[in-house]
């Protein structure tokens, strides 16, 4: 009897140990498989290894996919900053309720969330409409947010094309 009592506790410990090992292995393999099977975003500035049908491989630059331009409109481009003189009583909150940040623009015609580019000034940089201007500014003016009043003042006013992006 004593020998059986001694064997059973060790079997129970072995079973618990195997159970813990199997849980750990299952979890790790799940993480590994999700990393392999889940789609990944490729940084456009990195190289990716491409496998060719004959079994060889080579490295090549990833191609940057640019959003399609839905429409191009000529607009007056100006700038503003978060000062009470230029905004309302909540200068760091946009009309859409978002916090001001780089890439925010104000416009009275385009809906909130519309993505635009100003290629003549900023190339491929994408801006988002998250704010509004005074009604007297009309619909064909865009105000770019700057963190400093001096920067906004120095920007001035420019008549340029903006690209309204799809989606």
Spatial contact of 84 and 93, defined as CB atoms under 8 Å apart: no
Which pLDDT score, from 0 to 100, does residue 31 have? 47
Which pLDDT score, from 0 to 100, does residue 34 have? 46
Give the Å distances, CA to CA, from 158 to 77, 113, 120, 135, 162. 5, 23, 10, 19, 11
- Cα-flanking dihedrals φ and ψ of residue 47, to 5°? -100, 150
Q: What is the pLDDT along the chain (167 residues), one digit of tens a residue?
A: 555 555 555 545 555 566 666 665 655 555 444 444 444 434 444 455 555 556 666 666 655 677 899 999 999 999 999 887 777 778 889 999 999 999 999 999 999 999 999 999 999 999 999 999 989 999 999 999 999 999 999 999 999 999 999 97
- Confidence (pTM): 0.60
Which pLDDT score, from 0 to 100, does residue 41 have? 39
Burial status of residue 32 (CB atoms within 10 A of its CB: 0-12, 13-18, 19 or more)? exposed
Spatial separation of the C-alpha atoms in residues 12 and 16, rounded to whole Å: 6
Which pLDDT score, from 0 to 100, does residue 37 have? 43
69-165: CATH number:
2.40.40.10
Residue-by-residue DSSP string for 89-120 = S-TTB-TTSPBP-TTEEE-SSSPTT-EEE-HH
Sequence ranges of the domains in the chain = 1-39, 69-165
């Amino acid at each position: 009897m004593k020998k059986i009592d001694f064997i059973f506790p060790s079997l129970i410990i072995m079973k618990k140990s195997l159970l813990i090992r199997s849980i750990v292995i299952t979890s790790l393999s799940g993480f590994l498989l999700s990393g392999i099977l889940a789609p990944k975003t490729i940084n456009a500035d990195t190289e990716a290894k491409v496998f060719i049908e004959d079994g060889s491989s080579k490295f090549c630059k990833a191609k940057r996919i640019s959003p399609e331009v839905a429409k191009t409109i000529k607009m007056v481009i100006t700038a503003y900053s978060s000062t009470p003189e230029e905004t309302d009583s909540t200068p760091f909150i946009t009309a859409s309720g978002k916090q001001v940040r780089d890439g925010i623009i104000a416009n009275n015609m385009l809906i909130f969330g519309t993505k635009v580019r100003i290629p003549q000034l900023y190339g491929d940089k994408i801006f988002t409409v998250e704010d509004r201007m005074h009604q007297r500014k009309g619909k064909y003016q865009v105000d770019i947010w700057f963190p400093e009043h001096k920067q906004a003042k120095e920007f001035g006013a420019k008549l340029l094309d903006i690209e309204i992006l799809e989606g």
